[in-house]
Chain A
Amino acid sequence: MDWGQIFSFAIESALGTQAMYFALAAIGLNIHFGYTGLLNFGQAGFMICGAYGLAISIVEYDLHWLIGIVVGLIASGIFALLLGIPTLRLRADYLAIVTIAAAEILRIVVRATSLRGFTGGSNGINGFTAGFQDARPGFLDGGIDLGFISFSSRQSWVLFLGWITVLLGVGFTYLLIHSPWGRVLKAVREDEDAARALGKNAYSVKMQSLVLGGLFGALGGIFFVLAQGSVQPTPQDFGTPKTFFIWVAMILGGTGKLWGPVIGSVIFSGLLAFTDSALRQAVAADYVPKSIIDGVQVGQMRFILLGLGLMVLMIYRPQGIFGDKRELALDAN
């Protein structure tokens, strides 16, 4: 087995596009769940808003890619308002039900045959990254090569901008959370009625949080499709599993912690690639008999192993990597 190759695959994924757009979406989810206590199970829906907002404005309306990003963000803001207005006055679980359904509805609507001329139906949309790639600065033309890992020039530009956005997002979250606004957010998470009794408008703050976290979800979707070069309304791209992977990444890092979603996404992507390539090589080198698993089954097997790993984490470090065990103990009260 070539351990050097396994580790370079793992590190490449840990710093690659999946980790980057997971981090963006997970920052949003952390604002929703970690700081406000909103159960958003439809982060993939916000990603759809961002991805399709970008692709449609470029392909259909010939707009600049930066305007496309703004369109995607606006679309996700509207989506957040639509979800929030009826549900945020109700108990937390209603938002969970509505978001999980709305995200799937949105995905099924954009793949409708009758919208083929607009959203591309089940084929999705291609060829909207040219303008974005034209804007690539010269120093990335040769791609990024760190010796043991390397990224192509196209990928480098997405990664460069994406990771900068992640850092800005973390900084932005820091400023907000360490402010009186952030304090109200956390108070609403702990007990809405207590916040109301002290004169805080819980509904309004929850709405602001839902919109803000949704914008990060949209950014995740935007950078995802910029890296992929196409938008496709498939379950593995924008379905419910995607939402749950983002949840996993956030919980892995530590819910309600500033760097939790970023580190969680990096580790999630790295581990997934590590188990995948390690298994593949083990199977190829006959360390694992073909009668147990073959090369085709590795794809499923890596998720089983990842799931086992998560179970172990939840048993020995339930607060996540960055979490504070004291906080978890308080939940018992």
Chain B
Amino acid sequence: MTESPDIAARHASARPSKGGFLRWFNRRGWADITIATPYVWLLVFFLVPFIIVIAMSVATRTPTSPPFGFGGDHPLINTATYERLFSDSLYIRAFLTSIRNAAFATVLCLLIGYPMALGLTRVSKSWRNILLMLVILPFWTSFLLRVYAWMGLMGNNSWFNKLLTSAYNIMAPEEWAVRSIQMMNTNFAVVLVTVYSYLPFMILPLYANLEKLDLTLNEAAEDLGSRPFRVFLDVTLPLSVPGIIAGGLLVFIPASGELIIPGLVGNPSQPMIGRVIQDEFASARDWPMASAVAVALLLLLVVPMMLYSHFEAKAHEKRAMEP
């Protein structure tokens, strides 16, 4: 922490005067504490645990409690976990399944969420607030409850499944008729429930971005001869890229590490990475392996995040250059 000596120095310099601490607090301290709080939080609750996880990932599994240790055949660093990570296809397949499901869910969220966000910016103020509330409303119910509701809907004997099955049987040739559509325990179910659960995370940043766009730009494009759809392609879409990236990351990152949705509605023979980590920790009691998978997942998610913040910083720089 670079902040701490700084604060201490300022504190010390303020001390000789009367009521030193209060003066310091009123003058500088409040601002310093506000700035330092998130850093301290990150340090204590992210960086320190993450270092522990990294350390654990290079430890050796032991039958003790906790079930890992350092030393023995591999003094300090044991890379066996990482070797297994790349050699055992279970992990690679789990990563691929996770990324594929998360990517499908993200694209679908974008395709559904973009028109909704755009619509929100074009309705009257009073409607806008009602509709925004409806977008956030599902959060008022337990997440687990909503996933269970989908399980009920997708089950082979549910009215919903029967409705879809009969609709399918009417349209499909007779020899393709089915008794029910298998939705539960498939990747389709994972994507469907993920899209349902994460849609607000796509809509809200997109809405925040689209809402700021200057509509005179659309008028200008129309004035110069562009039809409405062309105006959308030339003006609205390129200017909403930051919103698309923000929404995409907010959906993609948690969706790829998702544990509950694939656990409840997913295909058990194609586990996603969250499930693998849980199994290694809880069932196999292989903490080093679980840690290695967790580290790999984090790196996989951090790289796109870093790319995003890099682009953001660049865009910010550009904005700052504006006279």
Check if A and B associate.
Answer: no
Which positions in A face B, CB cutoff 8 Å? none
Instruction: Please report B residues at the A interface, Cβ cutoff 8 Å.
Output: none
